[in-house]
């Protein structure tokens, strides 16, 4: 049974890694080697020119993606943590109504709010900028981050909060000195989730930013020429664009699972 399970898992791993294999071998080929008939074949020789060309074209947009993903991830995580703290440990009249309304934001299709978002960002003077895109991702990230932290904090004994109150801690100090230090698991889950969401965004980015502020995902779409597509460069660019989130999951994936198992999505 154990051997059969490992064989099955290995087959699934190979199946899911097949696109990565195609990206890698196509990116290492010369343009003359790229064809449907040779899609699965290894390159005749190692050629990293495609990666160099893609990297040179995407470097400015890589910076834009970092400027987008890092602030939007941190801000939405902090706001979600504060919301979860209030909704889980400071019950007030209407909390049971506000929480479902916040969660409702997760189910609004992105396409349904594109025109209002464009009008809103124009009104506040942030249309076409990275700052406007950060604002959008922070707002859209609040429902899922609030859900994760609210359920995480709901599993913390109320006696811990009561003890802090008896010691004279106020609303801010209870969060700062009691809950925040034990929220590492929740923050790991939220940070990985939000970073991946912001980094991989295409729809909001292509709609709300101008060419100078395009993140990597939008620029990748424009690597293709008007009359001919250099698939080796396109594949190399796709691999480079996916590399940051891939590295995040490789190095922090175990903490992501631990955070989930610690109760971040329970409730």
What's the pLDDT at 251? 84
Contact between 64 and 133 under an 8 Å Cβ cutoff? The reply is no
* Helices within the chain (DSSP H only): 2-27, 49-89, 95-104, 114-123, 130-154, 158-166, 171-173, 184-199, 203-208, 216-221, 231-259
What's the pLDDT at 124? 94
Contact between 230 and 47 under an 8 Å Cβ cutoff? The reply is no
CA–CA dist 207, 255 (Å, integer)? 34
- Write the CA distances from 79 to 71, 91, 107, 143, 261, integer angstroms: 12, 17, 19, 10, 22
Please name which of 226, 239, 242, 229 lies closest in space to residue 36, comparing C-alpha atoms.
229
Contact between 29 and 232 under an 8 Å Cβ cutoff? The reply is yes
Q: How many other C-beta atoms lie within 10 A of the C-beta of residue 13? A: 10
Across residues 88-114, what is the average pLDDT?
A: 86
What's the pLDDT at 122? 94
CA–CA dist 231, 237 (Å, integer)? 10
Mean pLDDT is highest, among 12-16, 221-225, 263-267, for 12-16
Encoded tokens for 13? 């791993």
Q: Which pLDDT band holds residue 13 (cuts at 50, 70, 90)?
A: very high
Q: Which pLDDT band holds residue 262 (cuts at 50, 70, 90)?
A: low
Q: Is the pLDDT of residue 135 over 90?
A: yes
- Write the CA distances from 136 to 91, 123, 164, integer angstroms: 28, 14, 36
Q: Is the pLDDT of residue 267 over 70?
A: no
Q: What is the pLDDT of residues 200-235, one digit of tens each?
A: 999 999 999 998 999 999 998 887 765 677 888 889
What's the pLDDT at 266? 45
Burial annotation 109-129 (CB, 10 A radius, 16+ → b, else e):
eeeeeeeebeebbeeeebbbb
Q: How far out from the chain centre does Cα 4 lie?
A: 34
Encoded tokens for 26? 């196509």
pTM for this entry:
0.84
Across residues 21-46, what is the average pLDDT?
A: 86
Q: What is the pLDDT of residues 90-99, one digit of tens each?
A: 878 888 888 8
Burial class of 156 by CB neighbour count within 10 A (0 to 12, 13 to 18, 19+): middle
DSSP state of 168: T
Mean pLDDT for all residues in the chain: 87
Helix axes 231-259, 49-89, angle to 10 degrees: 30
Please name which of 118, 95, 117 lies closest in space to residue 108, comparing C-alpha atoms.
117
Q: Is the pLDDT of residue 111 over 70?
A: yes
């Amino acid at each position: 049974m154990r051997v059969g399970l490992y064989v099955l898992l290995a087959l699934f791993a190979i199946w899911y890694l097949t696109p990565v294999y195609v990206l890698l071998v196509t990116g290492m080929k010369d343009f003359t080697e790229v064809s449907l008939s040779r899609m699965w074949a290894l390159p005749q020789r190692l050629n990293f020119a495609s990666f160099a060309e893609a990297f040179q074209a995407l470097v400015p947009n890589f910076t834009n993606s970092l400027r987008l993903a890092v602030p939007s991830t941190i801000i939405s995580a902090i706001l979600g943590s504060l919301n979860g703290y209030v909704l889980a440990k400071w019950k007030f009249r209407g909390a049971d109504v506000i929480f479902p309304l916040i969660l409702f934001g997760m189910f609004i299709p992105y396409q349904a709010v594109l025109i209002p978002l464009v009008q809103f960002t124009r009104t506040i003077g942030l249309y076409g900028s990275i700052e406007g895109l950060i604002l959008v991702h922070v707002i859209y990230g609040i429902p899922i981050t609030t859900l994760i932290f609210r359920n995480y904090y709901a599993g913390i004994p109320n006696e811990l909060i009561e003890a802090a109150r008896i010691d004279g801690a106020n609303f801010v100090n209870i969060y700062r000195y009691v809950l925040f230090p034990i929220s590492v698991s929740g923050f790991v889950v939220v940070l990985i989730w939000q970073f991946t969401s912001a980094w991989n965004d295409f729809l909001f980015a292509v709609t709300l930013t101008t060419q100078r502020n395009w993140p990597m995902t939008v620029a990748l779409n424009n690597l293709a020429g008007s009359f001919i597509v250099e698939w080796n460069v396109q594949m190399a660019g796709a691999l480079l664009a996916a590399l940051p989130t891939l590295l995040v999951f490789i190095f922090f994936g175990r903490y992501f699972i631990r955070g989930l198992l610690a109760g971040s999505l329970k409730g």
